[in-house]
Structure 1
């Protein structure tokens, strides 16, 4: 079974797909060992690991190299977070998607946020992009490649519910495999969206949105924690590095 087929089947299961978000090889291997069935890279975590903020500030080749290393060393499917595609034109974005597929991932996340200014791509522009991506993937032998279309309506709009449904439906019609809605936490709206949109819905863990079982009962098919784990690790590292320096004593490193 190919990783693409395996990844699609995980979304079709009755059980919610809980994805572990990795930012380097060590985190990916740790998540795989813990029992996660698939890994999604976190662009935020990758950027931080290289000393940058999120937002396509690092060179795409460096980003892709980390994704490639993860994919080559884990046995479970990997989905790559490529933000808005690391390009200012459709041709570049499509080429970057194909380059990402070439390193062996089973899918991508691609968002509708603009990177050089606040706001979202117009629906028709993003639909055209998704359609071009799907056409290129199919042409190059990547049928079924999982395109998780992220919409940032809940991160950018005051009243995002109806716009989210409109965009989600349009994105699915344009070739998206699933819809990712970070920032959506209202249970009533989650239920309505899962019933209305004919594609798997992926949500992002947030302080008021944490339980896989509850989300599965609402019809959510995929759940991920984004940069939360990488942030936790960085916080732990910062705290303990400071403690070592201030105490001038390393004894606590050997405590259980």
Structure 2
């Protein structure tokens, strides 16, 4: 079974797919060794680790080079976060999807929000873009490649639920493999979305919404940690460095090794 089929299969088991998010080889290998069955890249973490703000501010070629290094150093499937596709024109975005697939990833996250202006793409425009992605992937030998269609209604709309359902159905009909709704947290809305959209639902870890097993009971098939693992590691590094400067003592470095 190749990585694409393996990754698709992980969304259709009795268990929820708990997806770790990596930003470099070290984080990816750490997640793999810890038992995660698949990982996703975090655009936020990749950008921040290289000194950039999130939001497609990093050069796309540089972004791909980091994803490629991650893919080459783990055995488990990798899904790539390519934000809104790093382009404005449909042709550019579809080309970027194909370039990403060529790296050996098993899927992508692609979102429906704009990066250079506020708001969301019109539903029909984004559905058409997803259809073109799917057709191009199939034509270039990437059948079943996992397109996780991120819906940003919960970040961009005051009353997002009904529009989320509408967009989710349209995106799946246009070729999306599953939908990702970051910001979604109300149990009744989660359950309703899983019942009304015939595709795996991915939700994002948030404070107070961290139990993958509970989410599985609501029908969620994929749960990801986003940039929070990166933020935790970066925060620990700052605190550790500050402690050494304040105490002029490096003994704390060896305390960590003892704990491990």
On whether the aligned pair clears a TM of 0.5, the verdict is yes
Q: CA–CA distance in 2 between the matches of 1:215 and 1:59?
A: 36
Aligned residue number for residue 244 of structure 1: 244
Matches within 5 A, 1:127-166: 127-166=127-166
Q: TM-score, normalised by structure 2?
A: 0.97
The aligned runs of 1:1-256 (5 Å cut-off) are: 1-255=1-255, 256=258
SS of match in other structure, 1:138: helix
1:249 Cα deviation after fit: 1.3
Normalised by the size of structure 1, how large is the TM-score?
0.99
Deviation of residue 34 (structure 1)? 0.4
Counterpart-to-counterpart distance in 2, 1:224 and 1:21:
7
Conserved? CA contact 2:7–2:77, under 8 Å = yes
| Contact 2:161-2:189 at 8 Å conserved across structures | yes
Per-residue deviation, 1:155: 0.8
Query: Are 2:240 and 2:252, in contact at CA under 8 Å, matched by a contact in 1?
Result: no
237-246 or 117-126: bigger deviation: 237-246
> 1:253 Cα deviation (Å)?
1.6
Unaligned runs of 5+ in 1: none
Q: Give the drift of 1:118.
A: 1.2
Cα distance in structure 2, aligned partners of 1:253 and 1:26: 18
Mapped to 2, the partners of 1:253 and 1:144 lie a distance apart of 46
Deviations 1:134-153 (A, max 9, x none): 01000000000000000000
Shift of the alpha carbon at 1:251?
1.7
Deviation at 1:246, TM superposition (A): 1.9
Deviation at residue 159 of structure 1 after TM alignment = 0.3
Q: Secondary structure at the match of 1:12?
A: coil
Shift of 1:41: 0.3
- 2:11 aligns to what SS in structure 1? helix
CA RMSD between the two structures: 0.6
Structure 1 consecutive aligned stretches of length 4 or more whose deviation exceeds 3 Å: none
Provide the C-alpha distance between the structure 2 equivalents of 1:51 and 1:149, rounded to a whole number of angstroms.
Answer: 27
CA distance in 2, matches of 1:35, 1:251: 30
Give per-residue Cα distances to partners, 1:198-233, cap 9 Å, x unaligned. 000000000021001100000000000000000000
- Secondary structure, counterpart of 2:68 in structure 1: helix
Q: Distance in 1 between matches of 2:191 and 2:148?
A: 19
- Aligned partners of 1:126, 1:208: CA distance in 2, in Å? 31
C-alpha distance in structure 2 between counterparts of 1:247 and 1:61, whole Å: 42
